Chain A
């Protein structure tokens, strides 16, 4: 009966009660949503590369190597000679090796020199392979395969001619205009940096730089595309290489072997380990984000306390009536505390349901627009704990006005003073 009266009393003030519940719901959605985006972002980072056991590059920090080779962020400090590449390829434990050559760009999109093995060995999202939305891998020397974002942004289709610029700035004044490329294939959307990459063959990279020295074309020595086809286009150096091993057990052995390679200072990294380093780096930002969403929850609870407190004065009469029919001050206290707990519980439930409904509808869009795949899975144990804590906090927040009501109720007794 008392519980029913509490509910009726709430229904009597349904507009403010609803707004309070909504505020709590939104804060809960934010709290859980931030967590979902955080895990989703981590997952999509982790999903960018899969099936690759080692990444080899010139000696540098592992994070640096990972960022420039896989995420196209930053630049290599040095190159890896073709000889080293061939030596690693010859190791019996090595199942496959894909060369990566970076340094050129096209309208701000990075150009990656590689070979056609790249399209079969590069895996993302737990072993998914690349597929072609149109066309196919390169057949001719001056063929290019572009990622879906490149195609979307620059409105390219198979057969279009493109010119590659030297360097990686979005505006470049030095272009390889004498040797244009033809778009041979467009890759399907992957949600990884591949979407923003122009792929050409390693030989093509060599070809467009054959008449260059020290980063500039040598005047009077230009080589035409037809002439270059007859020349030896074995690369002298690459930027990095992705390595797949026959057995994962050999990973540490090969890593050590490469790190100790005597002819050239090289680094071999395991992508997963380097990613862990990345989490350590961005963990602070994640913590800040979580702290902000926690504060929003606190704000919502404060709003609820304010709401209950402002209605307290008009409810003194209600409490006096209850006291006159034998309700103890403790009952009055419990009534208000229950109200806080009830409102918070409703907010938490609504927020959680709202988040999942929102996720369900927004997921395809977010995946397409940001390459962020958000999982719709039930809250994890620590999230349940958080939700429970919010309800408990709501109950205690409700105690705040309840204690005031208790004091008023003791002072007023059953005599109404208006």
Chain B
């Protein structure tokens, strides 16, 4: 992949007049297979720097929504604009690249490669994104940047130096995952129920640390969850049912 393309992609979003980080317009997507599932989203916007909680029970299409947002799948109808780039116009490999350049992703659990060190796990996206690597390198040697980020997110320095990834507590794992999502300052942090395995206290601490870091980088955060009590941490709360229509079985025309 050429550097110029990366630069173009970067310029595109820098210069984009759109104030939105993400916008969905009349999007419709159907999972292929014997039991099709269709999700239709008429209108959805995420502003730059906004912290948005997307609420929905399981099975309401959260995974499909995230897949569309991160460019894993391309909608059959409608348009998804991310940082001024029409996702449908990028090739598969370009979308993979776009994803790592602009998204930091945190899963519900099992975020880490158990055989890599903590620092390996944090640095993982930088091997796929030059832009993020350069941004991280501006703050110092990559290993040091990773250590500092982990420390800021509340991981003990002796743990960073000595612990095996597989032996970390769930709370620690999620912090490492957050560090991986944040390193190199991507513009959008996507989190898929990152706190569902944490207790209330740890949950609050985790979100505060995450938002402190994303706020410092000016990144938007979109988190999906079924837990309404999280609403107080966010700028805006959207119910998936209000913006999307999910259809199971035969395709709706």
A residues at B contact (CB < 8 Å) = 1-2, 5, 8-9, 11-12, 317-318, 320-330, 413-416, 418
Contact = CB atoms under 8 A, between A and B. Distances in A.
Give the secondary structure class of A's interface: helix
A326 B99 contact: yes
Given A321-B111, A321-B113, A326 B72 contact: no
B63 A415 contact: yes
B107 A324 contact: yes
Nearest to B63: A415
Contacts of B57: none
Nearest to A321: B113
10 contacts: A8-B113, A318-B113, A321-B124, A325-B127, A326-B99, A326-B101, A326-B125, A329-B96, A414-B72, A414-B105
A328 B120 CA distance: 19
Given A12-B115, A323-B72, A329 B92 contact: yes
Contact of A1 (B72, B115, B127): B127
B120 to A, nearest CB: 8
B113 A5 contact: yes
A418 B110 CA distance: 10
B129 interface: yes
Interface residues of B, number: 31
Interface in B103-120: 105, 107-108, 110-116, 120
A323 B96 contact: yes
A415 B72 contact: yes
A414 B127 contact: no
Given A5-B116, A321-B112, A326-B97, A415 B192 contact: yes
B208 interface: no
Nearest to A326: B100
Interface string B52-77: 00000000000100110010110000
B67 A413 contact: yes
A198 B108 CA distance: 85
A325 B116 contact: no
Which 5 A/B pairs are nearest by Cβ-Cβ distance? Answer: A326-B100, A413-B72, A326-B128, A12-B115, A325-B125
A317, A324, A329 pick with most chain B CB within 10 angstroms = A324
Contacts of A416: 107-108, 110
